[in-house]
Amino acid sequence: MYRVLSLQEDFATEKPMIQHYIESHGHVCMFLPKFHCKLNPIKLLWGYAKYRYRKASDGKFTTVKVLVPQCLDMCETLTIHWFFCKMWRYMDAYRKGLDSHQTAFVVRKYKSHRCVGLPNEIIALMES
């Protein structure tokens, strides 16, 4: 059924209700790829919270109920900003046609800006 509906032009071009609501209030609604964790800062935030939880957990359920909200709240706004910057670097690298190995290299190499270098510069850096 999903395949049939996805091929219908009116169904494919229709905006979801949440998108209409967000845009009607003057905001931009941006949907991210569902399964690509490098392009989704929420996945990075969840990974950060799980890391903090594992360091503090004793494995008891009563502790879990207290720790999970605390671990989710531990992430500072600046850290979330870094997650978004990392996402922009991945998007820029993929947009420039780099493969996954080259993209992983440039995301580690270029830290201060949203964009990465040109593909020929990146290949030269990887070979040196």
**Percent of the chain at pLDDT above 70?**
83
- Determine if residue 98 is left, alpha or beta; phi over 0 gives left, psi from -120 to 50 gives alpha, anything else beta: beta
Contact of 57 with 67, CB cutoff 8 Å? yes
pLDDT-based confidence at residue 23 (cuts at 50, 70, 90)? very high
Identify the burial level of 88 via C-beta atoms within 10 angstroms of its C-beta, where 0-12 means exposed, 13-18 middle and 19 or more buried.
middle
The arithmetic mean of pLDDT across residues 71-89, rounded, is: 88
pLDDT tens per residue across span 33-51: 666 677 788 888 999 999 9
The pTM of this model reads 0.61
Beta strand extents in 59-127 (DSSP E only): none
Listed residue (107, 105, 111, 108) closest to 124, CA to CA = 105
